[in-house]
Amino acid sequence: MVTYSARQLYYDGKLQAATSNKTFQTIDPATGAHIADIHEASRADVDKAIQSAERAFPSWSATPPIQRARILQKAAQLLREQNNEIATAETHDTGKAFSETSVVDVATGADVLEYFANLVGGGGLNGETTQLREDAWVYTKKAPLGSAPCLAAGNTMVYKPSEFTSLHGETLAKVYTEAGLPAGVFNVVHGAGDVGAYLTAHPSIAKVSFTGQVATGKKVAAAAAGNMKYVTMELGGKSPLLVLPDADLEIAVDGAMMANFYSTGQVCTNGTRVFVPKNMKSAFEKRLLEKMQYVRAGPVMDPSTNFGPLVSRVHHQKVVITSDMALRQIKQPFFREEIFGPVLSILTYDTIEEAVQRANTTELGLAAGVFTSNLNVAHRVIDQLQAGITWVNSWGESPAEMSVGGWKQSGLGVENGRRGIEAWVQNKSTLVDMSNVVVTAFAKL
């Protein structure tokens, strides 16, 4: 049986035992085995991690962008060098197949680090200067607020991983330290919702970035609002995938499978509501069932396995119960609320207008997609879909260069892309007047 050393907290540039003297278990979703103990942070521990970040902030925020960029690029290099080791731990921690974690998880993390390193190193956070008249101008400076865009922008941070997937926090901290990140810039605490709530409400925190369920996100946003903190919320979705009458059947089915079965359906942008023309339904279902043979469940470390278990027994039961209620036609919000599992719903429609209207009938607006051979129609439909992330004849790709963020109750703010790093700075505007004359209404009084 695979086991890992106990995961401690990380602040002041080194591992720290939790003062709570409490731990919680990490369970391998594939085997149900207890594979690691995680130190649970006390409030005193969280305070120490925040103080560590505060001490490091003046120096790190004043570090030249090109120097910050070199450190992040080195961290990306180390992630790539340790790809298989980190991916293996991620597979045992999350249940995701190694065929996915070894190709996507670590690599995309390195991509994001490199993107933001190149952005800040190339002057991407330089301020703007606007001339008002011959003897006056305005300049705007972008100042750090207080993982990748946060650090690239000159901020320090305290990171709390999910209590269900906590193995990687210590690993990431060690990678950053080896890359040259100064002590206190990146800190890690572990725990459940109470630790997150204390961290969110702490007066020394300038910004909160949260990824998770809508209900939890609302609580986090409300707590942050008490001290007027900046927030980024990447919350849930119930995303529509529209197959138009002229769509290529093979491509549309492939898209629907990626939108629902990748990562065992545990992706916030899942296209769980697949809208298909009535006269295409039978053909679509037939081809979908034929292609289900390519969904291969099995030992998670087997290279041929591409479908692992759900992240926990509790979550598995939730998905099964919700699906069973839908099959028995028990009234519940199956088509409106996120399930976060490999559950694909096929909904038929008569007209594109009807499909768009029904697609938008949800309080969530994270993602949407259209499959069609007519790009003019695709853009027209995309413009009508109420979602912040959209795809045409594809699903799921979200490169570092692409800014993403949800509409409606699916989130606040954006991640990735140039707009993503703007979320980690605050603007200061200054007007400079060299005319030696103050414009005033009282000059002649």
CB of 169 within 8 A of CB of 190? yes
Among the listed residues 193, 150, 197, 190, the one whose alpha carbon sits nearest the alpha carbon of residue 56? 150
State both tokens at 46. 């969280």
Other beta carbons within 10 angstroms of residue 131's beta carbon come to 9
Three-class SS state of 115: helix
Query: Parallel, antiparallel, or unpaired for β 230-234 and 240-243?
Result: unpaired
CA distance 116 to 102: 22
Task: Name the active-site residue from 40, 170, 234, 338.
Answer: 234
Q: What is the dihedral of CA 324, 329, 335, 338, to 10 degrees?
A: -30
What is the number of helices (H) and of strands (E) in the chain? 15, 19
Distance CA 13, CA 283 (A): 58
Helix (H) or strand (E) holding 216: helix 214-225
For residues 336 and 361, give the distance between their C-alpha atoms in angstroms, rounded to a whole number. Answer: 8
Q: Classify residue 417 as left (phi > 0), alpha (psi -120 to 50) or beta.
A: left
Residue identified by tokens 């597979």 is 91
The side-by-side arrangement of strands in the sheet containing 128-133 is: 128-133, 136-144, 425-433
Using CA atoms, how far apart are residues 84 and 78, in angstroms rounded to an integer? 12
For helices 193-201 and 214-225, what crossing angle results, to 10°? 30
Map tokens 């591992």 to a residue.
Answer: 15
90 is catalytic: no
* Residues with active-site annotation: 234
